[in-house]
Amino acid sequence: MNPTRPVPTLDIRGLRVTLPGTARPVLDGVDLTVGAGETVALVGESGSGKSLTSRSALRLLPPGASVEGAVRIAGEDVLTMDTGRLRGVRAGSVAMVFQDPRAAVNPLRRIGDFLTESVTLTGTMSRADATARAVGLLRAVGLDEAVLDRFPGQVSGGMLQRVVIAAALMGDPALLLADEPTTALDVTSQAEAVALLAALRERFGTGLLFVTHDLDLAAAISDRVYVMYAGRIVETGPAEALFARPRHPYTAALLASTPRMEGPRGRLAAIEGQPPDLREPLHGCAFASRCPLATEVCDQRAPLPAAAPDRPDHRAACHHGDLLEGSAVDA
């Protein structure tokens, strides 16, 4: 570990999650860390396992899931702690902002009740203290206390996302999980939500795991990036280095398929093919069937993460990662 990196608030090691009816894990040996006050982006196509990885920090796993590995919050393994301790973690140490703010709230209850119920039910705060904290957090996200008496249907989507973010901070969490929190918002509200999360991270020193399929957004908000494909981390590194000099063909292909305002206009590059079927065993690289650099070894043996010669924090699981140095790869 880089000695300058913050002490991990979230430390996932060797996480494997297998579901009934699958021939291989849906999460296959995931390693991921988020330090205190650090923003880490987790990017990849839909179905790659991003949301399941983030939800593992709260042990929100599908029924029947078989789990291996460790998911530690401030040194405690969420996967093995008893339900009482887990309830305390969910109420305080870790909070989550889901993709659709309207799906996260009860439309028949006032926003004030939504903000205060978790900390009052767990006995973390009195009703009066919880209301005072809710008012303070609403102000921190740019809303006034009048919102407490409104119902979710009486505020805009952008305002409700701010409410959901305030609710996530009610227990003063050390880690905030944001699962594509801007997808349901318009462009203006997206920018406001991202700026708000960044400001709150600075103010409260909260670690932030930001799940997204938007590479430009990941580059703008994150300190480090993990790229996930078919349940595996295929590349990780500092955001600037990873996007400037990708070392995995999948990362390069994602970048090539991202719309750009500058340069000549034309058809966007596409990643041909489909991710591997979970009902089929996988012996080699998960991306091999879609990769322009694939050779026989890619089908036979899964690559291990390896660091760039001049960038020890920039690692990629690719047999041919060095071929990408200084070049672009199109799918």
DSSP structure string for 313-328: EEEE--TTGGGGTT--
What does pLDDT average to over the chain? Answer: 88
pLDDT confidence of residue 2: 40
CB within 8 A of 70, min separation 6: which ones?
A: 11, 12, 13, 14, 15, 77, 79
Give 303's pLDDT tier (boundaries 50, 70, 90): very high
Considering the chain, what percentage of its residues have pLDDT values greater than 90? 58
In the predicted model, is pLDDT for residue 322 greater than 70?
yes
CA dist., res. 196 & res. 4, Å (int):
26
Pairing of strands 224-229, 39-43: parallel
pLDDT confidence of residue 184: 65
In the predicted model, is pLDDT for residue 206 greater than 90?
no
Strand order in the sheet with 76-77: 27-35, 8-18, 66-73, 76-77
pLDDT confidence of residue 266: 66
Cα-flanking dihedrals φ and ψ of residue 288, to 5°? -55, -40
* Interval 150-170: pLDDT, tens: 999 999 888 898 899 889 888
pLDDT confidence of residue 263: 61
pLDDT confidence of residue 195: 81
pLDDT confidence of residue 125: 87
In the predicted model, is pLDDT for residue 120 greater than 70?
yes
User: How open is the CA angle 81-85-90, to the nearest 5 degrees?
Assistant: 105
Is 36:6 a contact under the CB 8 Å cutoff? Answer: yes
Give 132's pLDDT tier (boundaries 50, 70, 90): very high
Q: Which of 99-103, 114-118, 242-246 has the lowest mean pLDDT?
A: 99-103
pLDDT confidence of residue 202: 80
In the predicted model, is pLDDT for residue 276 greater than 80?
yes
**Dihedral sign, CA of 30, 97, 257, 268?**
positive
Question: What is the token pair recorded at 128?
Answer: 């009066």
Q: For residue 40, count CB atoms less than 10 angstroms from its CB and return exposed for 0-12, middle for 13-18, buried for 19 or more.
A: buried
Question: Between these two residues, 202 and 294, which has the higher pLDDT value?
Answer: 294
Q: Which of 115-124, 249-258, 281-290 has the lowest mean pLDDT?
A: 115-124
In the predicted model, is pLDDT for residue 4 greater than 90?
no
